[in-house]
Amino acid sequence: MGTIRDERIDCELSAALDALGDLVYVLEPSGELAGWNDEFADLTDCTDASDPQLTDFFAEPAHIDGARELVLDTGERVTVDASLDGADRSYELSFDRVGTDDATALVGIGREVASESLDAERRQNELVEEFAGHVSHDIRNPLQVATAQLELALDECETERLQRVNAALSRIDRLITDSLTLARSGADVTEPSAVDLEPQVRDVWEAVATEEATLRVDFDDEAVEISVDTARLGHLLEQLFDNAVTHAGPDVTVTVGTLEDGFYVADDGPGLTVEDREYVFESGYSTADDGTGFGLAIVDRIAVAHGWTVRATESESGGARFEVTDVS
């Protein structure tokens, strides 16, 4: 009788899952789908014949893979937002680890995000972009006028007071640039491109490094291809290189290398204290007297927008090392 009752319960449970309006799915640790309910099948046309992965059906595979790996590492529930590939529909996907170390699986529920929330997020992004445009135009124009007039005054009479004004105007310009980059860095990356990392690293380095600084690229012989928003990857590398020059000096040696699931940027400078590592990605936090405190916050925002993780640690020489992981 116990077997009959168990089979009946299994049938009723399966019917209940199929009747839900939400997506229900079971994943292997590798990300391959091991089971799904009727709602999932109807929405995605998923079949057993294709050996499907959950990432096959959503436009943010890096977010999903990052969540999967995080829940496997920590055992704690993780949720991410992902849009259905080829459709204007967004879902909140949850992941929970079940089973034992010898037989682990992930179960999850995908709940559609209300269209009002999507519209509100879209409006918010538009407002941020509009505000950024106003800031760039309405503040930069008078700043450029002031800078030009100051340069004329310095040509006629270079004094300590005018040099202080020049430093203040330069700081205002950096604050504007970093503020705009920070405001535009947080939106999720929805249309990444596959790029070779090494040429991106070298191009950004040429634009920001000093003549005395040295770049070492510690990659394997094979090209490292990642899926990114190319412009934001450039901003991320620029901020990390600029951070190294600012804190380690103009003759810094910067090393960029690969990790199992990402890459790192390290320098041979004085490094970060344990306390600084905890707060260094917070907006406005800086260990330099003339720093804006936005640089590493921009790095963190860009990483999160890609579904990556970034952390600060110590390099082999005792300097600062920033590791970007969960990269696909």
The predicted-structure confidence for 257-286, as pLDDT tens digits, reads as follows 999 999 999 999 999 999 899 888 887 777
Q: Where residue 236 falls among pLDDT bands split at 50, 70, 90?
A: very high
What is the predicted pLDDT for the residue at 287? 74
Confidence label for 173 from pLDDT (cuts 50, 70 and 90) = confident
Q: Which pLDDT score is estimated for 5?
A: 42
- Are both 44 and 178 inside the same structural domain? no
- The CATH number of the domain holding residue 228 is 3.30.565.10
Q: Is there a single domain that holds both residue 302 and residue 213?
A: yes
Q: How far apart are CA 107 and CA 96, in angstroms?
A: 5
Q: Say if strands 214-218 and 253-259 run parallel, antiparallel, or are unpaired.
A: parallel
User: Do 95 and 125 belong to one domain?
Assistant: no
What is the per-residue pLDDT across 11-20, written as a single tens digit (0 to 9) for each? 655 665 666 6
Q: How far apart are CA 56 and CA 70, in angstroms?
A: 19
The CATH number given to whatever domain includes residue 157 is 1.10.287
Q: Among 169, 180, 171, which Cα is nearest to 145's?
A: 169
Spatial distance between the Cα atoms of 87 and 132, rounded to a whole number of angstroms: 29
What is the pLDDT, as a whole number, of residue 80?
87
pLDDT digits (tens, 9 = 90+) for 72-128: 888 888 888 888 877 777 888 999 988 776 668 889 898 887 655 555 656 666 666
For the cut 60, the answer to whether the pLDDT of residue 155 exceeds it is: yes
Q: How many domains does the chain have?
A: 3
- Domain enclosing residue 37, as ranges: 2-113
Two tokens, residue 170: 């330069």
**27 pLDDT more than 70:** yes
**Distance, CA of 45 to CA of 29 (rounded, Å):** 22
**pLDDT beyond 50 at 228:** yes
pLDDT, position 321:
97
pLDDT the model gives residue 137 = 63
User: What is the predicted pLDDT for the residue at 83?
Assistant: 84
pLDDT above 90 covers what percent of the chain? 22
Choice between 133 and 47, residue whose per-residue pLDDT is larger = 47
On whether both 203 and 324 belong to a single domain, the answer is yes
Higher pLDDT, 309 or 60: 309
CATH number of the domain to which 88 belongs:
3.30.450.20
Is 143 found in the same domain as 266? no
Q: Which of 218, 321, 211 is nearest to 269 (CA)?
A: 321
- Name the token pair of 107: 């179960």
- pLDDT confidence tier of residue 7, bands split at 50, 70 and 90: low
Parallel, antiparallel or unpaired: strands 193-196 and 214-218:
unpaired
Question: Residue 2: its pLDDT value, please?
Answer: 38
The confidence score (pLDDT) of residue 105 equals 87
Contact 222, 206 (CB under 8 A): no
Which of 155, 185, 215 is the C-terminal boundary of a domain?
A: 185
Q: Which of 32-36, 239-243, 263-267, 275-279 has the highest mean pLDDT?
A: 263-267
Q: Using the 3D structure, point to which of 90, 113, 136 is the last residue of a domain.
A: 113
Q: Are residues 315 and 198 in the same domain?
A: yes
Whether residue 285 sits in one domain with residue 238:
yes
What is the mean predicted confidence (pLDDT) over 28-46?
87
* pLDDT band with cut points at 50, 70 and 90 for residue 172: confident
Count of Cβ atoms closer than 10 Å to residue 186 Cβ: 14
Place of tokens 């099948």: 41
Residues 120 and 80 in one domain: no
State mean pLDDT over 219-230.
84
Averaged pLDDT score across all residues of the chain: 81
> 185, 219, 244 — which closes off a domain?
185
Q: Do 323 and 198 fall within a single domain?
A: yes
- Please check whether residues 11 and 89 belong to one and the same domain: yes
Asked if residue 194 and residue 328 are part of one domain, the reply reads: yes
**Distance, first Cα to last Cα, the chain:** 50
215 with 317, same domain: the answer is yes
Average pLDDT over residues 160-182: 75
